[in-house]
Structure 1
Amino acid sequence: MGLLLLPLLATALAGCGIRATQVPTDFGPAPSRLPCSLPAAESTASADPGIPVQVFLVCAEQLVAVDRSVRISGGAAEAERRVAVAQSLLDELSAKPTSPETTAGYSTGVREGLRVVGPDARDPENTFRLSVPPKRLGPAELAQIICTFADSEATAADNGTIILGGPAATPLNRYTCTTGLRTHPASQDPEPKAVGKS
């Protein structure tokens, strides 16, 4: 009798496992790209001729550098060239992100039409004056400009800092692209340091 029960017991134990289901499941397509990750082939700088630069866009609530390419007219004096580069960087920041960038989660808070000029007569030579006073810019907007300018050899001042002001007669401040500014652009104080006229 005991020998007859052994096969039945083995069959019962085998049935305790999890069997594959035949019910179809659909959780949607797998993510095609990690957030803030762009294939090198889709880089704007690799596709367009010109001077390679980087601009800082917002992605996952942080500032992330993205490759760009800008065209600057030849033959300009150094001071004029620096302003031309600064304006090109602003134009890139205010432009709508490309389709691959939008898909990867990039955005920009820099307004269109923002202009930049060089120093007034009594300003330090590496000053940039924006058409809107920096204190009137949104936090992330100002952070994007600070870090983009500070990252560029053409627009950075001493030790990777930048000197920004608004239209003539508005005070000047020196800014640094800190780690806190890159990781929390919407809430981190840029900690401006006043700059006196010469």
Structure 2
Amino acid sequence: MRRSERTAGAPRGGRARRTGRVLAAVLAGAALAAGCGIRSTSVPVDAGAAPSRVPCRTPAEDVTARALDDIAVQVYLVCASQLVMVNRSVRMQAQEPDRVRVAQALLDELKQDPEADERQAGFSTGVPAGLRVAGGRGSDPAGTLRLNEQPDDLAAEALAQLVCTYADSEALVTGGTVVLGGPGNYAPRGYVCTSRTKTRPGDVPTPGALELP
């Protein structure tokens, strides 16, 4: 009777010892994960991309309330190697501004150094301070704007900023394109602002440039 009792009790003791070893291994693994600063989990977790240190956001601002003659506009600055729209307010005269005045006002905003909160958020501009814009010549296609530099001589990001900013203004778009020329005798060209232009402006030497007839 005593022999059978010992025989029946042996498996229970073995199971207990195996259970104890498994539990110890689990606890050791949990302690190791905790030491590495990693919370243990029973399922795989996709945490996504690491958060960016450059938020590319600025505090919201009511740009329509500065003055009666101010006009709310949007321009594109560079942030995290992309073009990001920011709000601006430009002063215009009481009469309806012509397209060249609109083009120059937008260009002036692009040339300005970003404001302090914008710089802190990672914004910058590549548009040169000496860049100017004027109307087209008599033989140019309708809607042409001529810069004092050849458009294709500008840095890629600067040209992308200018094209995408102008493309958002109905007064500066002709047939779906922004028509730009330079100071020489080269024919103007039409540029379009695409999603690729905004996401990878540095990879596009001439953003969607189209030859005009």
TM-score, normalization by structure 2: 0.70
Contact 1:57 1:65 in 2 (8 A): yes
* SS of residue paired to 1:158: coil
2:82 corresponds in structure 1 to 62
Alignment equivalent of 1:48, drawn from 66, 69, 85: 66
1:181 corresponds in structure 2 to 197
* SS of residue paired to 1:108: coil
1:102 aligns with 2:90: no
* SS of residue paired to 2:203: coil
Give the Cα–Cα distance (whole angstroms) in 1 for the partners of residues 65 and 125 of structure 2: 21
**After TM superposition, which residue ranges in structure 1, 4 or more long, deviate above 3 angstroms?**
none
2:14 corresponds in structure 1 to none
Count residues with an aligned counterpart.
165
Kindly name which structure, 1 or 2, has the bigger radius of gyration based on alpha carbons: 2
Give the Cα–Cα distance (whole angstroms) in 1 for the partners of residues 120 and 114 of structure 2: 9
How large is the RMSD of aligned CA atoms in angstroms?
Answer: 2.4
1:124 corresponds in structure 2 to 141
* 1:11-52 deviation digits (Å, cap 9, x = unpaired): xx9xx998xxxxxxxxxxxx9x961111213x6x25633111
* SS of residue paired to 1:154: helix
Give the Cα–Cα distance (whole angstroms) in 2 for the partners of residues 151 and 114 of structure 1: 20
TM-score, normalization by structure 1: 0.75
Give the Cα–Cα distance (whole angstroms) in 2 for the partners of residues 47 and 94 of structure 1: 23
Give the Cα–Cα distance (whole angstroms) in 1 for the partners of residues 172 and 77 of structure 2: 18
Quote the offset at 1:75 in angstroms: 3.4
Contact 1:120 1:168 in 2 (8 A): no
Quote the offset at 1:59 in angstroms: 0.5
Unaligned runs of 5+ in 2: 1-23, 32-50
Quote the offset at 1:168 in angstroms: 4.6
Quote the offset at 1:186 in angstroms: 0.9
Give the Cα–Cα distance (whole angstroms) in 2 for the partners of residues 141 and 165 of structure 1: 15
Code of the residue aligned with 2:89 in structure 1: it is S
Q: 1:34 to 1:167 in 2, by over 3 A?
A: closer
Pairs within 5 Å for 1:20-169: 35-41=55-61, 45-46=63-64, 48-49=66-67, 50-75=70-95, 81-159=98-176, 161-169=177-185
Give the Cα–Cα distance (whole angstroms) in 2 for the partners of residues 176 and 191 of structure 1: 5
